[in-house]
Amino acid sequence: MYIMHLLTDGPTRFNELQRKMPEEMTHTTLSRQLKKLEEEGLIERIEYQQIPPKVEYKLSDIGEKFRKVLKELEIWGNEYIQYLNDKE
């Protein structure tokens, strides 16, 4: 879900995604996660025919529709944090 959240800003290169991931996420794990999201049709892999090779990932059409869900989760998360802070 976090990868999809990062892709809401638009097409993103692998290394940029890697930098934004938690430190413990390895290159291999990120590659597997991206491949799985691609196989599920939630993201698209865009290859540019240039030297050096360039690959970007972006939300697919159905992945774009998930933005609404992500936004609602963000709103809920912020409200929940406020709730927890108010309890203290």
The pTM is what? Answer: 0.80
Encode pLDDT of 59-88 as tens digits: 999 999 988 888 899 899 999 999 999 987
Encode pLDDT of 40-53 as tens digits: 999 999 999 888 88
Q: What domain count does the chain have?
A: 1
DSSP 3-state assignment of 48? strand
Domain CATH for 61: 1.10.10.10
Helices and strands in the chain, H and E counts: 5, 3
DSSP 3-state assignment of 36? helix
Domain carrying residue 68 = 2-87
